[in-house]
Amino acid sequence: MNIQISRRDALLGSGALIVSFALADSLTGVHAQGAAKPLALTEVDSFLAIDKTGKVTVYSGKVDLGTGITTALRQIVAEELDVPMNRVDLVQGDTLLTPDQGKTWASVTIQVGGMQLRQAAAAARQALLAEAAKKLGTDNLTVADGIITAGGRKKVSYAELIGDKSFSIKLDPKQPVKEKSPKDYKIVGKSTPRVDIPDKVTGRFTYMQDFRVPGMLHGRVVRPPAIGAKLEKVDESAAKKIPGVVRIVREGDFLAVVANNEWDAIRGADALKVTWSKSETLPDQAKLWEHVRATKVVKEDATSNVGNVAEALAKEGAKVRKATYDFAIHTHGSIGPSCAIADFKDGKLTSWSASQATHDLRKQLALMLGLSLDNVRCIYLEGSGCYGRNGHEDAAADAALLAKVIGNPVRVQWSRADEHGWDPKGPPTLVDLQASTDAAGNVTAWDSIFYIPQAGPELNVALVAADLAGMPTSKVSFPGNIFQLSAIPYKFPNVRTVCRRLETTPLRPSWIRTPGRMQNTYANECFIDELAAAVGMDPLEFRLKYLDPADKRGIEVLERLAALAKWDKRPSPKKGAAGNVVKGRGISYTKYELVRTYVGAVAEVEVDRSTGRITVPRFYITHDCGQIINPDGLKSQIEGNVIQTVSRTLIEELKFDRSQVTSLDWASYPILTFPQVPDIVMELIDRPNEKPWGAGEPAAAVIPSAISNAVFDAIGVRLRSIPYTPAKVLAAMQAT
């Protein structure tokens, strides 16, 4: 990447130092000399630049993980600036060029990142209009396609006003700039086709896995056969005979083969004869839940506490119902294993990866290799969908370590077994619930305990290479906010929800799409259904009875869902089921994190009582995430949420022995395939005048419980352990 820096007059400020970028060749990873492009969240120039041809460049710290966000972010900026979509370019996730807008996670890219961009664009537009008013001698101005017109005659373009110069405008979140009125929107709210798809369907797109650097070598890591095993001995003789092998790198327990082509690196790694120490650090998977329950609790967080639960539960005549739900360990299951390239030259590291958090990765790599932050640049390239923190950061650490040792740029491509075996996992979740009802069938108390790992520097997602090589690993990466949605949206008189934060969890914990929110909503929405059934009420009516009547958007989501799914009002289970294959329907609801996106879901299921096999022919979804930026992009996200989570609910469970993960491929960790995919009928509730909220996760939160409740409706048996394999269904039927 060539970066030219020059001093030019600032249009609107006081001659600040200006940077312009020629993004012609991004192969060499050259660092900027001298002053850097602004990156502060308080500067318009951090987010936007307009060149002499009128082309707008957006600098986004949030990255496209395959969700289509680069199209939606362009829409937001194009709309606010009144420029056509094809005049907007976007640079994403480059620590030298894009501001640190936080990790791309938690469904906040539009909600937070997009709104920062909207503010920057609104401020830029306002300044451009003010400048045009001076130039054209009137403030009666209109803007179209980046051209400002006065009274239909005199014109000046953005390019003429600002081309290649800096805005030098401060942004103050406390004093937001006035944004365009949604009634004037022409681009936002439309299903603009994604900018990346033509290249992706023709092989022209460059994924991380396709990226190449001149002089690059290929590294293949050799992971221990057991977590915590020590490298005792390596016989390199056979590996060294393989023609392309350049070097075998050993740093502590980190071992890799570097070759001048990828296949020889793989062959070299296979040819190494390695002796590792025995290590058995994992619990017996057959007793996983006993293990979780016995893990040391480091703190107890009450996520809600209303009234007096203990008193209500103990009250004479109170009918108390108890249940325990568990949710298996899942892996991200990216179709493309993680990949990264690193180049270490003159004390400076350039890392290319598909990391969802390049600014955090930069800190991690700097600490690991003992470099100052200024000497590390991390650049994002789109990889295979990651759905959270998969192995991308670890591949980046592998490549960085090897590049520093070797001196050449090194590419590391993980194998399938590396990805399944070594990407960090969605931790196991165990939930105890109890609730009481009175003689009239009213819920009098709700009491729940969630057993989830602690979040914070103590339980950090370390870089695998740093751990193996005995290098320092920073504490900036840990599962976020998995307590969310342990509290409930229902207004019972006495409510207590408690998270017991566990000191450890069996495998390196991470976040996978809807982390915590999925597991917690699963337990809550199933148990709500249990209570509805216990008092003989229709499960939709039961929910509406206890939702806050002032929360009109939530109620509308459920009412529209009932209409969409032609909800048959009656208590579960369904009566009169005959034959082996029986049908049921179940409902679920969330107000995401109790403060944003509303989703309602109805699942239709068929359960084969002879085999225990569940199929999900259809899902109905109603969804209110406020202002919709791109309806088709939103639908695509919701479809993905539903399908991926049907897979997680019915099929997925990571297996391990006492030493290591044993689900190392798609045969031992199957996922949903085409014949099992449900039809999805959805209704989007657009609210152009409301804030836009996230949609990458919320719909996933309601899928497991909707299925579970539908299975109960069909067979009258409550399933409480994800995944719902045929064996578990048969066992639950027998136990009932």
Partner 1 sequence: MAIKSLTVNGKRVPVTYNDPQMPLLYVLRNEFGLHGPRFGCGLGQCGACTVHIDGAAVRSCITPLSTVDVNKKIVTLEGLGTPEKPHRVQKAFIEEQAVQCGYCINGMIMESVAFLAKNKKPTEAQIKDALANNLCRCGTHARIVRAVKRASA
In sequence order, what are the residues at sequence separation of 6 or more whose Cβ sits closer than 8 angstroms to the Cβ of residue 417?
664, 665
Write down the least CB distance from residue 641 to partner 1, Å.
7
Kindly tell me which of 164 and 196 has the beta carbon lying closer to partner 1: 196
**In the complex, what is the shortest distance from the CB of residue 198 to partner 1, in angstroms, rounded to a whole number?**
4
Name which of 539 and 698 has its Cβ closer to partner 1. 698
- Give the integer Cα–Cα distance in Å for 385 and 423: 14
Q: Which is nearer to partner 1, 571 or 631 (CB)?
A: 631
Best CA proximity match to 595, nearest among 108, 130, 185: 108
Cβ-based nearer residue to partner 1, 667 or 735? 667
Of the pair 490, 619, the CB lying nearest partner 1 is at 619
Neighbours of 309 (CB within 10 A): 24
E strands, 581-672, are 581-591, 598-608, 613-624
Smaller CB distance to partner 1: residue 183 or 204?
204
Task: Give least dist CB 352 to partner 1, A.
Answer: 15
Closest distance of CB 637 from partner 1, Å: 8
> What Å distances lie between residue 682 and 68, 305, 569, 603, 632, CA to CA?
19, 35, 20, 12, 12
Q: Compute, in degrees rounded to 10, the torsion defined by CA atoms 575, 579, 581, 584.
A: -10
Residue with smaller CB distance to partner 1, 255 or 700: 700
Please say whether the dihedral angle defined by the alpha carbons of residues 80, 84, 85 and 89, taken in this order, is positive or negative: negative
Residue 407: other Cβ atoms inside 10 A:
12
Closer residue to partner 1, CB minimum distance, 216 or 495: 216
Nearer to partner 1, 236 or 639 (CB): 639
Cβ atoms < 10 Å from Cβ of 439: 8
Coil, strand, or helix at residue 616?
strand
User: Is the Cβ of residue 358 or residue 415 nearer to partner 1 in the bound state?
Assistant: 415
Residue 356: CB minimum distance to partner 1, A: 12
Q: How far is CA 684 from the centre of its chain?
A: 21
CB of 197 to partner 1, least distance (A): 5
Taking the complex as a whole, the smallest distance from the CB of residue 695 to partner 1 amounts, in Å, to: 13
Q: Residue 290 is inside which H or E element, if any?
A: helix 288-294
> What is the rounded CA–CA span in Å between residue 518 and residue 702?
7
CA dist 482 and 523 (Å) reads 14
Q: Please, which residue, 160 or 639, has the CB nearer to partner 1?
A: 639
Half-sphere exposure of 9 (CA within 13 A, CB side): 4
Identify the CA nearest to 368 among candidates 322, 334, 403: 403
**Cβ distance 368 to 400 under 8 Å?**
yes
Render the burial of 367-406: b for 16+ CB within 10 Å, e for the rest.
bbbebeeebbbbbbbbbbbbbbbbbbbbbbbbbbbbbbbb
Compute how many other C-beta atoms are within 10 angstroms of the C-beta atom of residue 555: 16
Residue 213 beta carbon to partner 1: minimum distance, rounded to whole angstroms: 13
Is residue 157 within 8 A of residue 215, CB to CB? The reply is no
Q: How far is the CB of 199 from partner 1 (least distance, A)?
A: 6
Question: Pseudo-torsion of CA 222, 225, 227, 228, nearest 10°?
Answer: -80
Q: Minimal distance in Å, beta carbon 68 to partner 1? A: 7
- Which residue ranges make up the site for partner 1 (CB under 8 A)? 65-68, 193-194, 196-207, 209-210, 212, 242-244, 261-264, 267, 332-337, 382-385, 387, 413, 415-416, 632, 636, 639-644, 647, 665-667, 671-675, 677, 679-680
Can you tell me the distance from the alpha carbon of 482 to that of 459, in angstroms, rounded to the nearest whole number?
Answer: 13
Minimum separation from the CB atom of position 242 to partner 1 (A): 8
> Which CB, 479 or 633, lies closer to partner 1?
633
Which is nearer to partner 1, 200 or 569 (by Cβ)? 200
* Shortest distance, position 632 Cβ to partner 1, whole Å: 6
Q: How far apart are CA 686 and CA 683, in angstroms?
A: 9
Task: State the CB neighbour count (10 A cutoff) for residue 282.
Answer: 19
- Least distance in Å: CB of 430 to partner 1? 26
